[in-house]
Amino acid sequence: MNTKLHAICDSQGRPLNLFVTAGQVSDYSGARALLGSLPDVEWLLGDRGYDADWFRDALKDKGIRPCIPGRKQRKATVKYDKRRYKRRNRIKIMFGRFKDWRNVATRYDRCPKVFLSAIALAAIVSFFEIST
């Protein structure tokens, strides 16, 4: 069983919203599902999998500037801020911290709801400080 985890993160690399899709599903379905829950921000950093004209237009309608490189098959090149795009390493670090959790890294849970719950628990413990 293969899955993809789509996430919206803040500027510090903490997850704000998570969505799980099947592994063979395009990244566009994850983008469409998370589009309504985007916070009010100036920029959105994403990888090439989220490069679609409809997604860029939807971001611009919300007042968000996309920093997404174009796919290699794209005929017209897309300009993006390469310096800003390098900050995407915070997102990669977030996904790496999820893999510190054995049941998330090995995908023990077959039910997507249980798997997403394990990811949410890992996010709470790893990224958010609980004060008493």
Answer yes or no: pTM beyond 0.85. Answer: no
Q: Which fold has domain 3-127?
A: Nucleotidyltransferase; domain 5 (3.30.420)
| Residues contacting residue 25 through CB under 8 Å, at least 6 positions apart | 4
Alpha-carbon distance of 91 to 131, in angstroms, equals 25
Q: For 15-27, write each residue's pLDDT tens digit.
A: 999 998 888 888 8
- Exposed (0-12), middle (13-18) or buried (19+): which is 51, by Cβ within 10 Å? buried
Domain ranges of the chain: 3-127
Residue corresponding to tokens 């077959």: 110
Chain centroid, CA 117 distance in Å = 17
Q: For 113-130, write each residue's pLDDT tens digit.
A: 888 898 998 998 888 766
Where the chain has pLDDT below 50, the residues are: none
pLDDT at 132: 55
